[in-house]
Structure formats: C-alpha cells, structure tokens
A and B are shown apart, each in its own frame.
Chain A
C-alpha cells in the first residue's frame, strides 16, 4: 500500500494484493512440484472456459500451458523455447504460445518458479473459439502418451446468443465425458455439493472483480485495465477461482482500489503512481509479454491509461451479469464457457467494446494485433472500423506478438503510437477551442 513520508511525498511499495498473489503462485507451484510425494493428480487445461472449480472438486491440480508460455515470455526464455520447437519442425506462422510451451516441455518443463512441472495425468481441453487448442493438445498427447485426454466442445455463439440447446449439449458432455474422466484419473467420486460451494466462492470473487473494473469510471482511473489488469485477473483466470484465498485476494485488491478512488490517485505503474492522466484508452488484444515493461512504459510515460480491455475478459465475461452459481452447477459451468470473450461472435465483441468505451469514457480505441494469432487477429480491422463509425472515436492499430520477441519492433510501435497519441491530443485541443468559442 501507499504510505506518506514525513515530507508529504508518496512512496510506492508493492501493494499487499501483489504480494499476496505472488505467494499464492509460489504455493501453487510448490504443490505442483510435490505431486510425486502427495500423489495428487495433475490436469493441463486452457484459460478460456477453464473448469477450475470442477478440477478442484476432484482434488486435482490444474496447470495452464498458456500461462507458462506468457511467464516464459516475461522471463526472456521464450526465444529459446520457440527456437527449440522450430527445430522440431513447427512453422514460423504457428501460435507462439504453442511453440514456447512445447519448447519448454522438451527442455525439461521448468516452470516460472524454477521448479519442474509435473507431467499431466489428464489433458482437459475446453474448446472455446481458439482452433489452435485442439492441435496443441493433440501434440501434447504425443509428448505425454500416458495422459488421459478429454474434450469439452463449446459451441460458438454464432447467432450472438446462448441457446437452451447449447447448455444441454455442454451438460451432456460434462456428465458423459468430462466428469467420468476426472473420476477415473483422480479416483474420486463427483460431488455436486462440493462443486457448488466452490462456484459460490467464485461468484464472490467475480462481484469484486467487476467492482474493480468499474472503478475505471472515475477520473483519474485508479486502475490500468490492461497492463495492471493482467495482475488483477491473475488469480481468477487461473488456479484459484473458487477458493477462499481468491476471495481474500479480491477483497484486498478492491480495498486498495477504493483507497485510490478516495484519494483521487491513478493506477500504479512500474515507475510509481501515474501522476497525470492524459488519455483514456480501450484496447483489444493481449499485451506483448516479451517486452511487457517497455511496452507498458510507452503508454504510461505519455499519461495514457487503459480504462477497459478485452484481454481481461478472455477467462470469463462478468460484465453482463453472469456469475457462477450453485443453483445448477453444470448449467453454470456451461454458461460460463459459452460466455467467454473468445467464444463470442464479432458483433458481440464490438458491442462489448462499445460498452467499455462509453461506460469508461475512453478517448481512443487501440488494437494490439497478435502476429502469430490466426484465431483472433482476424476481424480486428472490421471491429475498428465499426467502432470508429459508431462512436466517432480515433482508432489506432499496432502489431506485436505474444511471446515471439522477433515480432516486437520498438521503432515501428513507437512511431505508430506517437501518431496515435497526437491524434488524440489534437482532438482535445480542438475540443477545448470549440468550448472556448461557445
């Protein structure tokens, strides 16, 4: 938290929530490294549409290959891992998460804390819009021939809404495919009450998360919903949703955000509290991980703060009221998976972004398109144009990659962002002049 020094100057320490998250992760990876002794079973699964509560209800431990890949990117290991995968024959155009993950596994599967990750007992694929997921797990099956594999197919919201048939289809798969596999691998009988208790805890954390996201309505925004957002979504999108620690984490974070709102403080950046909020932005697309700090700096040094992002919705969209619930646990899981950002059609994604732009009073919309992502880079120009026309808002477009450092060109990005910020600035000047005339 922040404390005042005698001279009245603010000094930034690591916030409690960040320390807490760090500890939660350390504990989780420690637990993973000890499965040989504890006998716990391990499930590899993906973030969008993850069934974390269900996995824990069988007392199993989840591992998220995407998260490992992004961690490798942040720790400057991804270049090496990607090279390893390309040496094996993976093409340059393939999703860099996949190559980074495969490379890491081949080189000994050392996780972000330096401890070795256990091999999977079950590969649980929830398919929510990213067509690479299926091939990814097919490849993992070759690397881990002893692992069981289960697939949960989530129908894409092509018509822009969830149909009753969708729910039934998913519940059926959970009952006949996923749960039996989990029972088989873990040796534990499915307990719907236990699952329901976890789902209710999830809902508590989800309420707090939305309160945190909505704090961006304030000026200055107390949060950065993109770079900071990465930390805010950490626990709920990964191994902790449905746990009491997760609720504790969000209570802590929410109280920090409330403090910043009361004190009219901006978000915390690696260089301290953002002093001046010049531009409020909404962004589509994940951040670049290999140059995370430098990329963030390009924004905060210009006083640009993200008040909304779609990346912080890939592990679940809670903005339109959905919460996990114990009322009908399997239905709740189905609705959650169906509602993920990656499972929504383009018009729905555009509507959601429009809501962010208006609700959080954004000055501009930016797309960070991912060079090696074929699933989600498609359609971004259409989204941009539609939003520009609908809202008369300046739009910007840059291109980076998730974890392939070869696609991060600082000067190209800087050049485009310079122009984008000046577009926003010029608009503000014009607005001020017009107001002065009136």
Chain B
C-alpha cells in the first residue's frame, strides 16, 4: 500500500498523519512533545501506523462480515485495549525506576515505607487508567502517558504531609522524563492478540473472525513512499532539508484539503498564532505570526490553568458558563495572571474571568488577522486551541463583528492540519 507521512512537531504536541495516494487519511498519531524531539516524532509516527492498521482492519471486517455486528464500536474497543497495553509497558518502566529511586531515598522516612507508598499509588494508577482505556474515557488527543500517570498518582499521594508529598513528587519528576524519552518497540500483532483477550466476554466469539484478517493486516507494508516534517521543531528533526517544510504552508494545505473554499487560515498553536491568506490552490499569499511574545497562544491557557489549579481542558467549558466577560486588559501572559488574581481577590466569578481571558486571546489573534489582510472569505480555524469551545465562540463572534457573515470552518482533525498538509506535500512532490 502506497502511503505518505506528514509529521508536525509542535511546541506542545507532535502529530503524525499517514495518507494514501488519494489523500485520504488512514492513520493519525499524537503524543506530547518531550525534551527529545526525535522520540516524539517517532512515537507519533508509530501511533499513526498502528492507527492505520486498525483503520484497515475495520475496513476488512466491514467488507467480509455480515451487517449484524457494529464493527466501528468493536474495533474502537480493541484499539483502546491495545493502547492500554502500550501504557502498561511504559508504566512498568516508570514504576521500576521510581522504586529504585525510593530505595536510595532517605528523608527521615524509612525507604521501605516510601517503597510501599509508591507501590500502592501505582496500583491505584493502574486501576484508574485501565478503567479509562477500557471504557473509552481517554481523550486520545490531549492525554498522554505523563498525564495519564500523574493525575491518579497525585491523587493517591495528596493526603501525605507536605514533606513526604514533595518527596514523592520529586521521585516522579526525576523518573518521568527518562522513561518518557525511551523508545519502546511494540509488536502490532502480539499486542492486538493480547488486547483481544481483554475484550468483553460476550464479544470473544468474534475473535476468530478478527484473527483471520489480523495477520494479513499486520503484514501490510505501511512504510511511507515519502515524508515531510513540519512545525516548530522541524529543524531539529533528523531529516534531510528536502524533507522539511514550513508549517505555514502545511497548515494552509491541510485546511485547503478539507475546505477548498478556504481563503484565510487562523492557526492557534502552543506558542504561536498564525494568520495565513491562501489562494484557490491552497498556496499561501501572505502570513503574519506573533513575534517576541507568546501571549494569546496555547501556552497562555496552560499558564492560566496552572494559576487556577484546573486542567486546560476544563477552562473552555467553564468560560462558556459566564454571565459576562471580565475585562482583561493585558496582552502579556504573566500580567494577565496578575489581573486574574486581582479579580479573584475582588470576588469575581471564575467563569467570568475565564471568559474575559478567552476573549483577550481571540482579540490578540484578530490583531494578527488584521495585519495579515483580514478575513476575506471562508475562514478555517486550526491548531490545538481550536478545540477550546470558548475560543471558538469568540472567534465566531469577532468574525461576524469585524468581517460580517463569513463561513467559519472547524474540523475534528483541526490539530492534525499541519501534519496532513505535510503528508500532502510529500505526495505531490
């Protein structure tokens, strides 16, 4: 099978997309961008490849079986279990590393006691994460190994007194980065077979049907005929210059592929915002990017979520509950944090402050849009921040206010637009 690979190494997440020669996406992979870019890119690629195999498996199952079975649901369950098994391998590494650290530790508390606490916390983590994967409660685009582990781990240790708690957090902090940067090879067929064993009782009878196709699907050569890397970290990829392309062009091409009428692309990523003007071929005619300051990007939301002790994913939905938007004047992330604390001290509701912060981000992005020539026709909103519902709300509001009734495109794949564009450029070469 002829495939093409696009990798978008962003400042927060790394994305990979595998397409066929008709530009259809067959697989997506995403991971957090860690200190080791090469590992991040490779993991994203591997995930895209596994996801492709599940896509193909699903296709085959649908073609060969009678219409009775809901294969979409079944393959999704299987893929969730597959990811859980992947989690388990890295989890075992992390647990060992942490126990090792605990053995060397002496902080007034006997090492044996610390070992015991870690063991018990890890058991809690395992149970929680298993439940998440088995019951489809994991968001594949925003929860990565680090998040999956840390949330239940922190929960399990939070009742310990300050010194011990800090010590337990320090042990995790020391171990997570090296474990996260380990490249673990997974065998698709072995892991899928194990995943089949975890399928609900009543579905085990389908095992044979799946097994027929599994070895064939696993054997398909998905090595890309060509590939292109893009994104903030593209220069750090171990790729030749001809395999590297600017994310401006890739985002525009990704948006154009889904929405050919697109003339303006607004992309809000982790640390930059881009306003891009494109022509009818998806080619860029001009663009503007934020310079010197990352206020108004994903990192800004990350900072605000830390300030409010919430997860980033909770911010948008809470902001939607606001009665009005508190006026946030500052365009600087750090100063916005100060304004936020001031409002909280004055007793302002979190919802209203958050609404104000979200609006401030969008207003900043609109400054860039105006600099790039405004919104001329259909606009497509891409990047990780496009999944925040409050940001989307204000983008729509401000487009109508400033440019009138213009179509705004949003796609569930918005975070993959850059990688998709890169894959398309690699095919079109």
Contact = CB atoms under 8 A, between A and B. Distances in A.
Interface stretch (B214-222, B283-291, B389-397, B411-419): B283-291
Contacts of B247: 419
A27 interface: no
Is chain B's interface secondary structure helix, strand, loop, or mixed overall?
mixed
A392 B371 CA distance: 18
A431 B289 CA distance: 27
B249 interface: yes
Contacts of A397: 286, 288, 371
A385 interface: yes
Contact of A399 (B246, B287, B291): B291
B292 A409 contact: yes
A426 B285 CA distance: 11
Contact of B286 (A384, A409, A415): A384
A292 to B, nearest CB: 21
Interface string B316-332: 00000000000000000
A197 interface: no
Interface in A166-216: none
A30 to B, nearest CB: 43
Interface string B363-374: 000000001010
Interface in B30-77: none
Contacts of A409: 291-292
A427 B371 CA distance: 23
Given A388-B373, A419-B246, A426 B283 contact: yes
A325 B373 CA distance: 43
Interface string B271-311: 00000010001011111110110000000000000000000
A375 interface: no
A381 interface: yes
A409 B285 CA distance: 24
B248 interface: yes
B245 interface: yes
Interface string A386-413: 0010001011110100000000010010
Contacts of A14: none
Contacts of A388: 277, 285-286, 373
Nearest to A411: B235
B286 A395 contact: yes
A416 interface: yes
A395 B371 CA distance: 12
Contacts of A395: 285-286
Contacts of A415: 246, 289
A430 B246 contact: no
A423 interface: yes
A419 B288 contact: no
A21 B292 CA distance: 38
A91 interface: no
A419 B291 contact: no
Interface of A: 381, 384-385, 388, 392, 394-397, 399, 409, 412, 415-416, 418-419, 422-423, 426-427, 430
24 contacts: A385-B373, A388-B277, A388-B373, A394-B284, A394-B286, A397-B286, A397-B288, A399-B291, A409-B291, A412-B291, A412-B292, A415-B246, A415-B289, A416-B289, A418-B246, A419-B246, A419-B284, A419-B287, A422-B249, A423-B248, A423-B249, A423-B285, A426-B249, A430-B283
Which 3 pairs across A and B sit closest by C-beta, in order of nearness?
A: A419-B246, A419-B248, A395-B286
Interface of B: 245-249, 277, 281, 283-289, 291-292, 371, 373
Given A381-B371, A395-B285, A419-B247, 11 more contacts: A392-B285, A394-B284, A395-B286, A397-B286, A397-B371, A415-B289, A416-B289, A419-B284, A422-B246, A423-B285, A427-B283
